[in-house]
Structure 1
Amino acid sequence: MGNADYDHQYNPQRVEIPPPKPLLTAVKSSVRETFFPDDPFRQFKNQPATKKAVLGLQYFFTILEWAPRYNLGYLKSDLIAGITIASLAVPQGISYASLANVPPIVGIYGSFVPPIIYAIFGSSRDIAIGPVAVASLLLASILAKEVSPTDNPKLYFQMALTSGLFSGILQASLGFLRLGFVVDLLSHATILGFMGGAATTVILQQLKGVLGIKHFTHKSDVVNVLKAVFSQYHEWKWEPAVMGIGFLVFLLVTKYFGKKRPSFFWISALSPLFCVIIGSLMAYLTHAEKHHIGVIGHLKKGLNPVTVSDLTAVFNSRHLAVSIKAGFISGIIGLAEGIAVGRSFATVKNYHIDGNKEMIAFGLMNIIGSFFSCFLSAGPFSRSAVNFNAGCKTQVSNIVMAFIMMLTLLFMTPLFQYTPHVVLCSIIMMAMIGIMDVPAAIHLWKVDKIDCMICLGAFLGVSFGSVEIGLSIAVVISLLRLILFIARPRTLNLGNLPNTSTYRSIDQYTAAKNVPGVLILQIDSPIYFANSNYLRERISRWVYEEEDRIKSSGETSLQYIILDISTVGGIDTSGISMLEEVKRNLDRKSIQLVLANPRSEVIKKLDTSKYIETIGREWMFVTVGEAVEACNFLLHSSKLSPGEEKAKTPEDNV
C-alpha cells in the first residue's frame, strides 16, 4: 500500500504551485516589496489627475497637508512650545558651535534657517531642529585632523559648511531612493554605546574650560585628554572651576526637579538661558578676564550670510575628500538620532512619521542650511523633549523658534558677548550627562548579551580610540552578528503536543513527544549559499542523534524525515542543491524525505529546478499534521499482512 491509498482514503490538501508571473511583473513586484513596503502611492489610486497633483504636492510638502486643518487652539500651544525651545536654542546652539570648533554665532544660525525648511517638509510634530552634540563632536574630530580650527579658522569653517552640504546630499538621497535600511544598520545598541562614549569624551574635554587650561590636546580619547588635564595642573585656575561647578550643580538640580515634577518642565528648559544671563552679568560686573574667566566676545549682528562662495572654495581644494567623509559619517549619525527621536515621540502621541520623508526633510534643510552659514542640524533629543513637554501640536513650534532666532540675530546678539566659556562648558556637560543612558545598557545586558557587547564595543572604541574607531567596531560586530544569524540558522526538533494536532519544539515544550519512526525538523531561516552546507551537516547530525536515541530506547526505526519549511522565506540554487544531496543521503539509508508547507517563492524554485519531480509531489504536504498522518498511515500499513490489510476499513486506519 502506498501514498495513493492514503490519498484515496483521506484526500489531504495538496501543496499548490503558484502560476508563473511575466518577468516584468515579477521584477515590479520585487522592487515594490523591497523599496515600497508601506505603499506610499496607494492614496493616488483611482483619483482624477487634479487630485493626484494635489496629493503629490502634499506628499513632498507636508505643510500643505496639515496647514489647512490648522486652528487657533493649535497656535496657542505651538507659540508656548516655540518660545520655550527658543530659550534653550541660544545657549545650546552657542555651546554646540564651540564643540564643533566653529564661531559661536553659527550655532544660532543653525536654529533659524533649518527649522523653517523642516517645517515645510518634515512629518514629525515634535522634533525641534538645531545643532546636535554628537554630530558636532564627530565633525570636529574628523576635520581637526586635517585643518587646525585655531591656526586656519576660515578654511576649517568652510570645510564644516561643505560637510553639512554633503550630509544633506546623503540624507536626501537615502530618502528619495528609499534606502532607509542603511540607517537601520546602526542598531539601538550601537547608537547607545556610541553616544555614551562620545558623551564621556565630550565631558572630559570640557575640563579644559572648567579648569581654565590654555594648552590642551587636539585628541579626543580618554587617555590623552586625562593626560593633558593632569600634566597641565600648574595652569588650573580656581575661579572658572568654582563658577563651572556651581552652574553644573544648578543645572543638575533643575533637571532633577523637572523630572520629579513634570508640570514644571519649563524650569529645566529655561535653566541654560538663566545660566547664560547670570554668567554674563557676573562676567560684566566683575571684569571676568581679570579672574582668568574667558568670554565669547563680539557676536556679529544680522541674519545668516550667504556662504556659497565658501563651499566652492573647498570644492577646488585638496580638503574636499575629508569634508565629504566628515559629512557622510556625521550625517548618518544625525539622521539616526533624529529619526529615533521622532519615532519615540510619535509613538507616545499615536501618530506615524514617514522615515523616507524625514530623510528628505533632514537632507534639504542641511543642503539649504549650508548655503546660509549653517553646519549640520538634526533633531536633538533634549530640545525635542522640551518641545514635546511644552505641548507642541504641529511643526509651527519650529517656525516660532526660527522667528525668535531671527529677532535674536537682528537685535540681541550683543547681549551674549559677555557669556563666559565656562558656562557653555557646564551646559555641554549637562547635555552629555543626559545622553549617557546607563539603565538602558544594564537592560541590554539582562536581555541580550551580544547587544550589550556591541554597545560596550562602541563605547570603548569611542572613549579610548576615536569616534571612527568606535563606530567601526559597533558596525562590524553588528554585521558579524547578522552574518552569523544567516550562516548558522536554528533547526528545531518538533514533537506532538498531547491530544492536539500541534507540533512544537521539544526543547521548549516538555510535553511535546517524538512521533515513532518520524523525525520532524523545522528550518528557521531562508536557505542560501551562506548556510546550505551548515544545514546539510546539521540535518545529518539530527538523523544520527535520532538513530542513536531509537537504538537505546528500542523504538520503531527511523523511516521518515519531515522538513517543516514554513518559515523558509527564500531559497537559492545552493539551497536546492543541498536539498538534493540530503535526499540522496536519506535514500541510501532508506529514509523518505517529506516537505511540509513550502512558501510560494520556495515552491516555484523547487518546481523550476525539477526538485519536485525528484522527491515526488505526493511527499509534499500543506501542514506538518497531514504529513505526520500520512507517515503514520504508511508505517501502520507496512506492518499488516496482505489479508489483514484488505480486512481493514478506512475507519480502522483512522
Structure 2
Amino acid sequence: MGNADYVYPSTNEYRQCAHPVAVPPPQPFFKSFKNSLKETFFPDDPLRQFKNKTPSRKFFLGLQYFLPILEWGPRYTFQFLKSDLISGITIASLAIPQGISYAKLANLPPILGLYSSFIPPLIYAMMGSSRDLAVGTVAVASLLIGSMLGDEVNATENPALYLHLAFTATFFAGLLQASLGLLRLGFIVDFLSHATIVGFMGGAATVVILQQLKGILGLQHFTQSTDIISVLRSVFSQIHEWRWESGVLGAIFLFFLLLSRYFSKKRPKFFWISAMAPLTTVILGSLLVYLTHAEKHGVDVIGNLKKGLNPPSFGDFVFTSPYFTTAVKTGMITGIIALAEGIAVGRSFAMFKNYNIDGNKEMVAIGTMNIVGSCFSCYLTTGPFSRSAVNFNAGCKTAMSNVVMAIAVMFTLLFLTPLFHYTPLVVLSAIIISAMLGLIDYEAAIHLWKVDKFDFVVCMGAYIGVVFASVEVGLVIAVAISVLRLLLFVARPKTFILGNLPNSTIYRSVEQYPTTNDVPGILILQIDAPIYFANSSYLRERISRWIDEEEDKLKSTGETSLQYVIFNMSAVGNIDTSGISMLEEVKKITDRRGLKLVLANPGAEVMKKLNKSKFIETIGKEWIYLTVGEAVEACNYKLHTCKPDATTEDSQPWNNV
C-alpha cells in the first residue's frame, strides 16, 4: 500500500466541511424500554389498523385478524372456486395415501391419518394466512412421535395408552404453537437456521427410509430405535425372514413412484401425474392383492378401517405421571419442528406469489388446529412441503382448497374405508420412501459447503446426530452448534484496518481492497459488531495488538510515527457499560503512548450512552466526527498546521459538537 497525497484545507474551509455529531435527546427509561419491546414483539404493529375506528369496526377487524376467512371470503368468486376445487381434489389424492402411511410411521392406527386430514384443514382454512399451505400429517413429526413415545410405551403391547399419549402430545404441541403466536414469540423459531433444517430433514429422511425396509422386506419384528446401526442390525439379523414377494412388489411400486415424479419434474405441466401416483399405487396394489390373494402368501395388508367421522378424544388425555412428562416433552419438540416446517413452507410459496403471511397468525392457526384436532382423534399436523407444492402447482387461489380436501377425506371416511382393506403395507412403505427422497437435499448441502463452511458443519452435525444417534440428539447438536456460532460472532467480532481508496475520501478494509493507501501517522480501525461484556476484553486486547503492530511497522520502515487512532463505529449498533469501560481503558492506553483516540460515526444509541457515562467529556467533544473522512482531515490538519504551543483559534480542531 502506498501513501496518499493530501491537500490540507484552510481553517475556514475546514469549518465549512466539518459536521457535528449529535447526541440524541434524553428519553425516559420506560418509554425506551417500551419501544424496544414493541420492536421485538410487534415489529409489524398489528394495532395500527384499529386506530380511529368505531368499537363495532374494531370488533370486526379483531375477528378478521384471527379469522382471515372473513377478509377474503366476501371477495371469493366462482373462478376462485374452480381453481380451488381442482387443487383440493388433487391434494386429497395425495393426502389419503400419505395420511395412512405416516400414521403407520408413527405406530398409530392408519385411520388416524385420515382423521388428521379432515378436522385440521377446516380449522386452518378459517384461521391461516397462507393461500398455498396444504395441511396434513408429516413424516418427520410422525417419526419423532413414534420414536419418543415408543421409548416409554410399546405401541403393540399397550396400544390404548400409546394412542392416548399421542393425543396428549398433540394437544401440548398445539398449546405451545398457539402460545408462541399469541405472545409474539415467533422469533424463537428463527434459531432453527436453514443449515440446521437441511441437515435435520435429511437425517430424518434417511432414518425413515431405512425403517421402511421393514415393510419392503415383510419383516414382522423390528427395532424401535431410529439410529442407522440398530436399523441395519435389525435388517441383516433377520435375513432368513425376508419375503421376496413383498420385496418385488415394493421395488415395482417404488420404481413407478420415482418414475412419475421424475416425469413431472421434467414436465411441470404434468404435475398431476406425480400427485396422483401414490393413490394409483394404492389402488393397483389393493387390486393385485385382492385378485391374487397375496395376503395369504406373505404380503401384509392394512386390514379393516373403521367407517365414520372422527370420534371425540378429549377424554383420553393423559395428565398423570409417569407418562405426562413424556407427552409434554414429545409435544414441545414435535411442535417446534412442525411449526418451523409449516412457516418455512408457507413463506416460500408466498414469496412466489408476491404476498405476505403473518408468522404469528400462522402459529396461532397451526396451534389451534392441533388443539382442536387432538380433541377429535387427530395427531400432529402442519403444512408439509410435498402436499403444499402440489397445491401450488395445481393453481390454488385461497385456503378453500383445504376445505375441498377435507370434504374429499370426509367422503372417504364415510363410504370408502372398506376399500383399503387389501392395501399392502409395502405400498405404504414405497410411498414414504418416495416422499422422503425429496427431503434429502444434497444440492443445498453442497451449496452450504461452497458458501459457508461453518453452516456446512451445522448441517452435517444435525445429519450425523440424527442418523447415528437419534432424532432428538441430532436436533440438539444442530441447535448447539448454531448457538455456539452465534456466541462466537458476539464474543469475537471482526476488527480490521481501513485505508483510503485512491482519489477519494472513502475508507475501506485494506484486506478487501489491497489498493488502498496508508494514512501517515494515523491508524484507522473498524469494529464490526456491538460492544458488549462478552467481547469487550477481547476488543481491548485486539486493539492493543493492532497499535503494537502498526508502531512496529512504522519503526521498521522509518515512516512517520503513529499519532492518532481512529475508531470507525458505524457498525457498533449498541454498547453496554463493559464496552464503555473498554473504551476508557483504551483511552488510557493511547494516552500513555502519546496517541490521540478519535471516534468516527457513533450511532444514536452509542452516543446516548457515551454522553451519560461522561466518556464524551473524557475524550473531548472535538475528537468525535461524523465520518472517517472528516476525522482523517481533522487529524491531518492538526498534524501539519498546528504547533504544540499554539494557542490561537486557528490551531483548534474544528468539529463543533
Among residues 528, 535, 560, which one is paired with 1:531 in the alignment? 535
Among residues 568, 575, 580, which one is paired with 2:579 in the alignment? 575
Q: Are 2:245 and 1:246 aligned?
A: no
* Range moving further from structure 2, 464-473 or 284-293: 284-293
User: What is the deviation of 1:33?
Assistant: 1.1
Q: Report what 2:292 is aligned to.
A: 286
Between the aligned partners of 2:504 and 2:60, the Cα distance in structure 1 is 56
Q: Are 2:302 and 1:296 aligned?
A: yes
Between the aligned partners of 2:43 and 2:280, the Cα distance in structure 1 is 48
Between the aligned partners of 1:641 and 1:199, the Cα distance in structure 2 is 76
Q: Report what 2:3 is aligned to.
A: none
Alpha carbons of structure 1 residues 285 and 499: separation in structure 2 relative to 1, 3 Å: same
Q: Report what 2:111 is aligned to.
A: 105
Q: Report what 1:503 is aligned to.
A: 507
Between the aligned partners of 2:62 and 2:649, the Cα distance in structure 1 is 72
Q: Are 2:451 and 1:447 aligned?
A: yes
Between the aligned partners of 1:646 and 1:333, the Cα distance in structure 2 is 67
Q: What is the CA deviation profile of residues 374-418 of structure 1, one whole-angstrom value per residue up to 9, with x for unaligned ones? A: 000001111001000000000000010011111111111111111
Q: Are 2:596 and 1:592 aligned?
A: yes
Q: Are 2:22 and 1:12 aligned?
A: no
Alpha carbons of structure 1 residues 646 and 404: separation in structure 2 relative to 1, 3 Å: closer
Q: Which letter does structure 2 place at the counterpart of 1:20?
A: P
Between the aligned partners of 2:21 and 2:54, the Cα distance in structure 1 is 42
Q: Report what 1:413 is aligned to.
A: 417
Q: What is the CA deviation profile of residues 281-310 of structure 1, one whole-angstrom value per residue up to 9, with x for unaligned ones? A: 111111122110011011001100000111
Q: Report what 2:152 is aligned to.
A: 146
Q: What is the CA deviation profile of residues 41-87 of structure 1, one whole-angstrom value per residue up to 9, with x for unaligned ones? A: 22223333333222221111111111111111111000000000001
Q: Are 2:189 and 1:189 aligned?
A: no
User: What is the deviation of 1:452?
Assistant: 0.5
Q: Which letter does structure 2 place at the counterpart of 1:433?
A: L
Between the aligned partners of 1:381 and 1:173, the Cα distance in structure 2 is 24
Among residues 461, 468, 483, which one is paired with 1:464 in the alignment? 468
Q: What is the CA deviation profile of residues 85-135 of structure 1, one whole-angstrom value per residue up to 9, with x for unaligned ones? A: 001111000000000011000000011000011111111100100000001
Q: Which letter does structure 2 place at the counterpart of 1:324?
A: V
Q: What is the CA deviation profile of residues 245-303 of structure 1, one whole-angstrom value per residue up to 9, with x for unaligned ones? A: 00000000000000011111001000000000011111111112211001101100110
Structure 2 residue ranges without an equivalent (≥5): 1-8
Q: Are 2:46 and 1:40 aligned?
A: yes
Q: Report what 1:429 is aligned to.
A: 433
Q: Are 2:179 and 1:173 aligned?
A: yes
Q: Are 2:94 and 1:94 aligned?
A: no
Among residues 315, 335, 342, which one is paired with 2:346 in the alignment? 342
Between the aligned partners of 1:158 and 1:7, the Cα distance in structure 2 is 81
Q: Which letter does structure 2 place at the counterpart of 1:109?
A: Y
Q: Which letter does structure 2 place at the counterpart of 1:556?
A: T
Alpha carbons of structure 1 residues 576 and 233: separation in structure 2 relative to 1, 3 Å: same
Q: Report what 2:82 is aligned to.
A: 76
Q: What is the CA deviation profile of residues 593-647 of structure 1, one whole-angstrom value per residue up to 9, with x for unaligned ones? A: 011111111111111111111111111111111111110100012469979x999
Between the aligned partners of 2:41 and 2:628, the Cα distance in structure 1 is 34
Between the aligned partners of 2:638 and 2:198, the Cα distance in structure 1 is 57
Among residues 258, 261, 281, which one is paired with 2:267 in the alignment? 261
What is the TM-score when the length of structure 2 is the normalising length? 0.96
Between the aligned partners of 2:355 and 2:588, the Cα distance in structure 1 is 54
Q: Report what 1:116 is aligned to.
A: 122
Whether the 8 Å contact between 1:6 and 1:633 is mirrored in structure 2 is no
Alpha carbons of structure 1 residues 616 and 410: separation in structure 2 relative to 1, 3 Å: same
Whether the 8 Å contact between 2:11 and 2:650 is mirrored in structure 1 is no
* Range moving further from structure 2, 37-46 or 474-483: 37-46
SS at match of 1:595: strand
Q: Are 2:32 and 1:26 aligned?
A: yes
Q: Are 2:638 and 1:610 aligned?
A: no
What is the TM-score when the length of structure 1 is the normalising length? 0.96
Q: Report what 2:555 is aligned to.
A: 551
Q: What is the CA deviation profile of residues 518-577 of structure 1, one whole-angstrom value per residue up to 9, with x for unaligned ones? A: 111111000000000000011111101111111122221111111111111111111010
Q: Are 2:81 and 1:85 aligned?
A: no
Q: Which letter does structure 2 place at the counterpart of 1:229?
A: V
Q: What is the CA deviation profile of residues 482-522 of structure 1, one whole-angstrom value per residue up to 9, with x for unaligned ones? A: 00000000012111111111111111012211111111111
Q: Report what 2:211 is aligned to.
A: 205
Matched residue count: 645
Among residues 206, 218, 231, which one is paired with 2:224 in the alignment? 218
Q: Report what 1:385 is aligned to.
A: 389
Q: Which letter does structure 2 place at the counterpart of 1:60?
A: F
Alpha carbons of structure 1 residues 48 and 7: separation in structure 2 relative to 1, 3 Å: farther
Among residues 478, 483, 489, which one is paired with 1:485 in the alignment? 489
SS at match of 2:534: coil
Alpha carbons of structure 1 residues 471 and 6: separation in structure 2 relative to 1, 3 Å: farther
User: What is the deviation of 1:5?
Assistant: 6.6
Between the aligned partners of 1:536 and 1:510, the Cα distance in structure 2 is 26
Between the aligned partners of 2:71 and 2:332, the Cα distance in structure 1 is 31
Q: Which letter does structure 1 place at the counterpart of 2:66?
A: F
Between the aligned partners of 1:196 and 1:141, the Cα distance in structure 2 is 17
Between the aligned partners of 1:150 and 1:234, the Cα distance in structure 2 is 23
Between the aligned partners of 2:321 and 2:616, the Cα distance in structure 1 is 63
Q: Are 2:588 and 1:622 aligned?
A: no
Alpha carbons of structure 1 residues 646 and 187: separation in structure 2 relative to 1, 3 Å: closer
Q: Report what 2:5 is aligned to.
A: none
Q: Report what 1:394 is aligned to.
A: 398
Between the aligned partners of 1:288 and 1:112, the Cα distance in structure 2 is 31
* Range moving further from structure 2, 420-429 or 492-501: 492-501
Between the aligned partners of 1:553 and 1:262, the Cα distance in structure 2 is 66
Whether the 8 Å contact between 1:6 and 1:630 is mirrored in structure 2 is no
Among residues 271, 280, 284, which one is paired with 2:277 in the alignment? 271
Identity %: 65
Alpha carbons of structure 1 residues 123 and 298: separation in structure 2 relative to 1, 3 Å: same
SS at match of 1:309: coil
Between the aligned partners of 2:29 and 2:528, the Cα distance in structure 1 is 29
User: What is the deviation of 1:364?
Assistant: 0.3
Q: Which letter does structure 2 place at the counterpart of 1:72?
A: F
SS at match of 1:561: strand
Between the aligned partners of 1:159 and 1:137, the Cα distance in structure 2 is 15
